[in-house]
């Protein structure tokens, strides 16, 4: 069964939102210093690489990631190429509108490939984000999860977080920081489970897209979700 890895490698090099806690891993026991095993701990923002925001991240009445249904995080998903007209200069703070989706929505999970944040280890501010209109548009078509290959569904400098609020209003789950550059547009099976961290605002996910699930009857279990 072929699958695409769509989470970046987690290391101390991974870029995080300006001012947020970078990933750090410390060894408390190490073979190299004579210990009988290797043991380590980490310190990190939960918004690390590919991650799921919980509604408690962007709304006072939201909930912890442990309370969110897992259903949006696995099952049939559609990858859509987003190609916006204009030079890269004009793309700064550009949001995706319904008319930018050039294809029909055919799955309850939609992953948008913008190619506007190409290197997970290098922060750049001018990534493409969502408009509240496109969130409402997808909600009206039964979408339960939206994913994007940028660090946020709103522009970096947004304080109103309009698209996050639209996600809250429509109870849509979200994946940010995906790596989609090697994935052709099409239909896949997504697996991207957040950890059940009590009351947390987010969790990193190990996300994969499984190709051609119809050829593998053993995947029936996840086929209809």
Phi, psi dihedrals of residue 101, rounded to the nearest 5°: -85, 105
Give the phi and the psi of residue 134 in degrees, each rounded to 5.
Answer: -70, -30
Asked if 53 touches Zn ion (CB under 5 A), the answer is yes
Residue 51 catalytic? no
Residues 6+ apart with CB under 8 A from 60: none
Residue 154 makes contact with Zn ion by CB under 5 A: no
- Name the residue with the smallest CB distance to Zn ion: 47
Smallest gap, in angstroms, from Cβ of residue 176 to Zn ion?
Answer: 5
Q: Which of 47, 51, 57, 164 is catalytic?
A: 57
In the complex with Zn ion, the residue whose CB is nearer, 162 or 176, is 176
Closest distance of CB 124 from Zn ion, Å: 16
DSSP string for 133-146: HHHHHHHHTT--EE
Q: In angstroms, what is the minimal distance from the CB of 25 to Zn ion?
A: 21
Whether residue 120 contacts residue 14, with contact meaning beta carbons closer than 8 Å, is answered with: yes
Length of the chain: 225
- Looking at the Cβ atoms of 149 and 176, the one nearer to Zn ion is 176
For the segment 157-176, give every residue that binds Zn ion (CB under 5 A): 176
Query: Counting beta carbons within 10 angstroms of the beta carbon of residue 36, is it exposed (0 to 12), middle (13 to 18) or buried (19 or more)?
Result: exposed
Q: Which is nearer to Zn ion, 16 or 222 (CB)?
A: 16
Site for Zn ion in 32-51 (CB under 5 A): 47
| Interaction between residue 201 and Zn ion (CB under 5 A) | no
Radius of gyration for the alpha carbons in the chain, expressed in angstroms and rounded: 18
Using CB under 5 A as the criterion, which residues of the chain lie in contact with Zn ion when the complex forms?
A: 47, 53, 176
By annotation, the residues acting in catalysis are: 57
């Amino acid at each position: 069964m072929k699958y695409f890895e769509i989470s970046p490698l987690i290391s101390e090099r991974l870029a995080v939102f300006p001012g947020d806690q970078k990933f750090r891993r410390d060894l408390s026991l190490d073979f190299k210093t004579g210990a009988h095993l290797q043991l380590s701990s980490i310190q990190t923002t939960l918004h690390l690489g590919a991650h799921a925001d919980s509604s408690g991240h962007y709304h006072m009445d939201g909930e912890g990631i442990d309370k969110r249904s897992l259903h949006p995080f696995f099952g049939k998903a559609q990858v859509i190429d987003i190609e916006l007209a204009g030079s890269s200069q004009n793309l700064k703070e550009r949001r995706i509108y319904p008319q930018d989706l050039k294809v029909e929505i055919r799955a309850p999970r939609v992953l948008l490939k913008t190619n506007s944040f190409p290197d997970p280890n290098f922060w750049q501010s001018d990534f493409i984000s969502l408009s509240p209109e496109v969130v409402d548009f997808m909600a009206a078509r039964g979408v339960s999860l939206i994913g994007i290959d940028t660090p946020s569904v709103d522009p970096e400098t947004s304080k109103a977080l309009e698209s996050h609020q639209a996600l809250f209003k429509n109870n849509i789950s979200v994946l940010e920081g995906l790596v989609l550059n090697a994935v052709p547009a099409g239909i896949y099976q997504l697996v991207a489970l957040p950890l059940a961290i009590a009351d947390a605002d987010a969790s990193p996910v190990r996300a994969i897209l499984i190709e051609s699930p119809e050829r593998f009857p053993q995947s029936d279990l996840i086929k209809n979700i």
